[in-house]
Amino acid sequence: MTDCQGDAATSPMELYEKLTAQGDLVRTLKSTKADKAEIDAAVQLLLKLKVDYKQAAGQDYKAGCPPSENSVTSENGLPADNDDNAGDEVNPWNVSTNNAKGVDYDKLIVRFGSSKIDQGLVDRIEKVTGQTPHHFLRRGIFFSHRDMHQVLDTYEKNKPFFLYTGRGPSSQAMHVGHLIPFIFTKWLQSVFDIPLVVQLTDDEKYLWKDLTLEQCHQFARENAKDIIACGFDINKTFIFSDLDYMGASPQFYRNVVKIQKHVTFNQVKGIFGFTDSDCIGKISFPAIQAAPSFSNSFPHIFGDKKDIQCLIPCAIDQDPYFRMTRDVAPRIGYPKPALLHSTFFPALQGAQTKMSASDANSSIFLTDTAKQIKNKINKYAFSGGKDTIEEHRKFGGNVDVDVSFMYLTFFLEDDQKLEKIREDYTSGALPTGELKKILIETLQPIIAEHQARRKEITDETVEKFMTPRPLNFNQ
């Protein structure tokens, strides 16, 4: 039976997806002349979901007509009052909000039906690993999860799990925002001492972007150098291009087909907003992003084992892919992947959008010189300070909207120093120019060191990381 009660279905979109899946199940049971009691139970659940959906979305369920992405409901099921975050749009291709503070992540947790990473979970990670939690955890940059407690249970029982994350190679140069999941994944790999697979979705970028197949494949190789430069252990890391690996791994492709068989067109339309005019490659792609969640997609690492759980660190805009994956997994005999979600790295112009590789002035690229970094921050970084020095000293700045301070929360590791900056800027003792200077002096050496490491990475090194091979894996 469809796993209709696995995750909290508190948002209209979550309910829509479950309703679509349940409708498909009812039709399947009827067409196969299943037992009457099983059909009746499925129909009763379908009716209940329709009632829940109408209360949450304010409209009747209609197949192929998902609720709007910005549909946010209050606890009594009525549409929420308008606020600065009422227009939040979060999906794998677009992130935007009307609020200068950025996306309301608490509301997003409710909408997506995930769980907040609270202090109790952070403390448990510290206890289980024996390591101080990464500052991304301490500061709520990774703020949401699915089944992380289950992963920790697995680790405490000395059972294996593995990491999976990815990158869509749409440009030759990555920006600093792209580093966030890889920095954190590197920490997870180190503290848990486990294997990692990194998917480069060059096929996806060909389907979505105005790029040639050859460009996407080349970008994947170039992006792999930036990923390797984060310091991943070659003995525990497999990086693969979809355009290469799909044709070289029968087991990977078989899992893709299994997933495709268990997801309907209505479901992917509801989850991803596809239309009848989208190419069929887009419609089938989610199954390809789902397949690395299952251990037997990598027989050179895990053999034929299909019960090894996967943990996926990613930005929360990728969650729709894995909600779909978690729904399918039990139906094809695999464990659900667990997830850790990060916030978005804001554009220089403000937190209303995430940093974009297509806008050179919204981003600080890993190829930027020290001078370019300085100029971009001084010219484009949105300020939370006041219009004049006098006003700033009197009223202080707003760290909730100041991009330079936001960037420091990602890249300044010293908690005490960051708190002192917060206090001084809020009180007006620290002017905007000085705050930008601190950020410049923080970022310049980080990017310079990354560039130096990347320069050492040869095409031969990339080939080693991308060659299917056994990894150091404690089974």
Question: Residue 433 above 60 pLDDT?
Answer: yes
Cβ(401)–Cβ(101) under 8 Å? yes
> What tens digit of pLDDT does each residue of 146-166 get?
999 999 999 999 999 999 999
> What tens digit of pLDDT does each residue of 299-357 get?
999 999 999 999 999 999 999 999 999 999 999 999 999 999 999 999 999 877 776 66
Mean pLDDT of 72-96: 58
Distance (Å, rounded) from C-alpha 13 to C-alpha 69? Answer: 8
Return the pLDDT at 123. 98
Question: Residue 281 above 70 pLDDT?
Answer: yes
Return the pLDDT at 453. 98
Distance (Å, rounded) from C-alpha 60 to C-alpha 75? Answer: 19
> What tens digit of pLDDT does each residue of 238-277 get?
999 999 999 999 999 999 999 999 999 999 999 999 999 9
> What tens digit of pLDDT does each residue of 171-186 get?
998 999 999 999 999 9
Question: Residue 418 above 80 pLDDT?
Answer: yes
Tokens 């869509």 belong to 168
Lowest mean pLDDT among 44-53, 126-135, 320-329: 44-53
Closest CA to 256 of 280, 291, 306, 219: 291
Distance (Å, rounded) from C-alpha 166 to C-alpha 182? Answer: 9
Return the pLDDT at 2. 32
Percent of the chain beyond pLDDT 90?
Answer: 72
Question: Residue 71 above 50 pLDDT?
Answer: no
For the chain, what is the mean pLDDT? 89
Mean pLDDT of 383-396: 92
Closest CA to 272 of 347, 331, 207, 334: 207
